[in-house]
Amino acid sequence: MRCSALFSRISCIRKNMKEIQKKKSVDLYSDGPQWMSNLPESLWGIPLSNLSLPGSHDAMTYCLDEESKVSVNESKLLQFMDKHMHRIVHPIILKWSVTQVLTVLEQLDAGIRYFDLRIAHKPDDSSMNLYFVHMLYTTVVVEAVLWDILRWLKNHPWEVVVLAFRNFDGLDEEHHCHLISCIKKIFAGRICPRNVVPTLRNLWSGNYQVIVSYDNISQVTQHYELWPAIPYWWGNKTTAAKLIQYLERRKQGGRPAGLFVSGINLTGDLGYIQAHLCDCFLAGSWTGWSTRSLPTL
């Protein structure tokens, strides 16, 4: 049964390859759910690190829990303010923590192929449940989202995603083992080992659809399916002009050898947030404010 399914998949791929060999370009707006499938043959042998993959910063913040406590990794001052001035402070924290409004499936359909996933275990939770975090914890657990991604990948067998697991707030060795076990169980043979050169041709021929970046070197050395943390060029700037200047300076120094992230997300520090509270509420969220500040593409 397994061999028949594999033969059918290869036959389908070969047929589709012939159909798109002459394609010269991809329209991300119309080809979003299958834009990698529609890339011209001239790009199939190029490593993903030399292609531009649209990515999602703090990908899971569309489902932050309004009732969540502030993450224990945030400053003691912020935790104190949220505890003792909750009705005033908490809505502000929530608004400035949201960086995405599309669900993970909507992001996939829009063409996103790199996902910035900040993982956390709640300090008072005796279970092994893991959540996503950005100042606040999410309503959904990590495992449920990974199953959603798998179902999407099954329906888009030529698409490849990079899942960057980062931060690991409150995780101990047992939690890491649980998380990695979930990743392996859910994606199984679709995970690309780190000894494979990640070109589309290699990924398709190996039936790989997932590259797992894991920001914990001790875990990476124990599992050949995990890739080391992907370098992230984070500008930490409040304006598009300053962010572009930062990225240009980094570019002049040379790029990393493999996969890396060039973050075009704007960032407001505590002082900036305090000075622009009105903007925040007028925009409705952090995403509304930051979108207004981005240059027109």
Which residues does the annotation mark as catalytic?
A: 57, 134
CB–CB of 113/55 below 8 Å? yes
CA distance 108 to 73: 29
The per-residue DSSP string of the chain comes to -HHHHHHHHHHHHHHHHHHHTT-----HHHHGGGTTTTS-GGGTTSBGGGS---EETTTTGGGB-TTPPBPTTS-HHHHHHHHHSHHHHHHHHHHHH----S-HHHHHHTT--EEEEEEE--TT--S---EEEESEEEEEEHHHHHHHHHHHHHH-TT--EEEEEEEEET--HHHHHHHHHHHHHHHGGGBPPTTS--BHHHHHHTT--EEEEES-HHHHTT-TTEEPPPPEE----SSHHHHHHHHHHHHHT---SS--EE-------HHHHHHTHHHHHHHSSHHHHHHHHSPP-
CA distance 11 to 29: 28
